[in-house]
Amino acid sequence: MKNIIITKKFWDKKNYKNLNKKFEIKNKLEKKFIQKNNPKYIFFIHWSKLIPENIYKNYNCIQFHSSNLPRGRGGSPIQNQILNGSKNTLLCAFRVGKKIDSGPIYLKKKLNLNGTAHEIFVRMEKKAIDMVKIINKKKIIPKKQIGKPTYFKRRVSNQSNIFNTKFNNLNELYNFIRMLDAESYPKAFIKIKNIKFEFYNVIKKRNKLISNILIKNENKNK
């Protein structure tokens, strides 16, 4: 019997290198595969889809969320915290239940929010794997979340438009660009008619920002 790790995105496959003999690692949730393996634990890393009730009720499902639960439940926690000025947060491993991000917590570990979104996700993934090893090795009794819950809304692509956002200073613009700089995420952009300018690899140097820009013509007829 092997435990299972399910993730929709591998940010750095080196993080999984030493787990292959002890875990089955999948990028999608397969009910028949889970039933066949009958795992003690199913870990969900970087997973935003709903987990079916017949899975979390019959198996010990553990999910990871990058905020200090019960504060910051919901979508896009890293981006929302950076927008709020946070430089650090906590990565929580909690048992999946009916209500989103509300289950009892196994572990909390510090997570730094410096760097690009990609760098943060790689860091988060590595820390999640370390927490998987601890939970798998030790007998940890999860503890009920304490405190008043707060919630984040999942960001949509139009919120990456720089023109739709107010910035008080250059540092806020810098944080806005870097927090969206990851593969498959809607990068910070401006749009002039049919031309879209996407910003990435931003660097802050004193009173200026230096960034790469990808320019796209979104008029499909040209």
113 within a domain of the structure (yes/no): yes
Q: Is residue 120 part of a domain?
A: yes
Residue 222 domain flag: no
121 in the same domain as 12 = yes
Check if the beta carbon of residue 115 is closer than 8 Å to that of residue 77. no
pLDDT tens digits along 154-207: 999 999 999 999 999 999 999 999 999 999 899 999 999 999 999 999 999 989
Which of 117, 152, 187 delimits the end of a domain?
152
Residue 58 has pLDDT above 70, yes or no: yes
Say if residues 200 and 181 touch (Cβ distance below 8 Å).
yes
Q: What is the pLDDT of residues 72-121, one digit of tens each?
A: 999 999 999 999 999 999 999 999 999 999 999 999 999 999 999 999 99
Q: Are residues 130 and 196 in the same domain?
A: no
**The tokens of 23 are what?**
């875990």
Exposure pattern of 2-27 as b/e (b: 16+ CB <10 Å)?
A: ebbbbbeeebeeebbeebeeebbbee
Does 33 fall in a domain?
yes
Boundary of a domain, candidates 129, 152, 175: 152
Q: What is the pLDDT of residues 121-157, one digit of tens each?
A: 999 999 999 999 999 998 899 999 999 999 999 999 9
pTM (predicted TM-score): 0.92
Residue 21 lies in a domain: yes
Q: Are both 126 and 44 inside the same structural domain?
A: yes
